[in-house]
Structure 1
């Protein structure tokens, strides 16, 4: 039985309840995180918590919980769910809380709702381009809001884009802006490889500041054998790329072999992905 955390109490997940007047339920008025733990070891725990704290500040949700307190809470929840023996993700959700009425303006004197639960995640993919699971994706113009750098629980735009890819038999949907420039995927960051160089869109309000993205960039730059560029990426470059990758906390670095029904490069997982994934794998537990 999975143990969840809700507003200071540990309880079976199926017993967790919130008010129907909670603003997270009514408005998607909240911030969330998903953090992977492999055999009890987190990936980017501090970076995830710092991003959540930044997101809460950006939407003016008043939380007094410190980074150290968040870390202790999440590690405790993982332990209570047997995380030392298996791979778990932890979902953290902080909404503005429950008011006595439905009203758009931020209410005063309302305590945030804090909800966390764990779920099983798969083992990491092998560092082997002949054995790794490859993804296929479709593409669409990015129709979400202009504050994608905030990890909001209001994910309907992302859900609709993801459903577009899923309904067409693909694993994801890569998005582009009105200038035909790559932004990210519906639930992932995105990268291309051309002539051995890894290129990813610059961090701005159009994309989420992915923690896995940051670990990838930092570890590749530190190791030094693969050049990395953060810059504008056109969709023409995407279609002409030698390799395309997507990344997230659950997917880590995932290779894409087909876009809109057409092969990426020669249609197989590339050598740069394999080398980069090995570098990332060696560094992921040491990144703060």
Structure 2
């Protein structure tokens, strides 16, 4: 029987959402390293941008540090999914540290393209967000001065390269699909000879999660995105909803919900960034059910079947 004392709330839950293959792999690498080496295992930078995940791994024996000089001699260390400059594994080798690289293979693909383009004499225009660990890691694959960061259409319009005939572009994997297309179109209009990447740099998971939010937005009065404030792909999901004219809010956990967002809301969209576990989605649904008569429907726009291999040495442990 329906509870008439609570207002009805329909939940449209976007799919795909939550963990991507690169995040799954990175978390598994830390867990298997702890099984193999025992506690503690050090991790340089947050393995993925999610406090719940980081805290869970801390409880299992991971210690998170920002730089290698915080890792004791002889201790095992894991590099985060976002990728690291070449100087980091070089320093680890010099110190004799036993390290594992959890860089997402799709980020590694961008790294290899950067090396290839620079070797071919191209100057790279890298579309991304200043200060993001993935951007720092990619810039660290090539000599200083070999890449220029482009953040906006305005940057693309203002660019005055020394050799316009020898340009190429690459992008961060977690950008807004629409924003990036606008920047790329501006660059191609100005520099038609610019070389494009082999295949799309924005990763499948980022594109799929943005498309899924677009698919539900027209049917929603508001959208909640579960993710961390330093998670690029999660922030982009909020932007996608806002651009569709829908109220949207980023929350890390159900307890962060600003209930006023739900004033007058009959249909609520829910999604999660690529580093947010499904457990947090269920936690939110459970909380909403304490105040609303909830019905939920999953709206699937595509099915993801991507899986990445573990590094050699850990695949046997798995």
The bucket for the TM-score relative to the shorter chain is under 0.3
More helix by share: 2
What TM-score comes out, normalization by structure 2 length?
0.25
Please identify the structure whose Cα radius of gyration is greater: 2
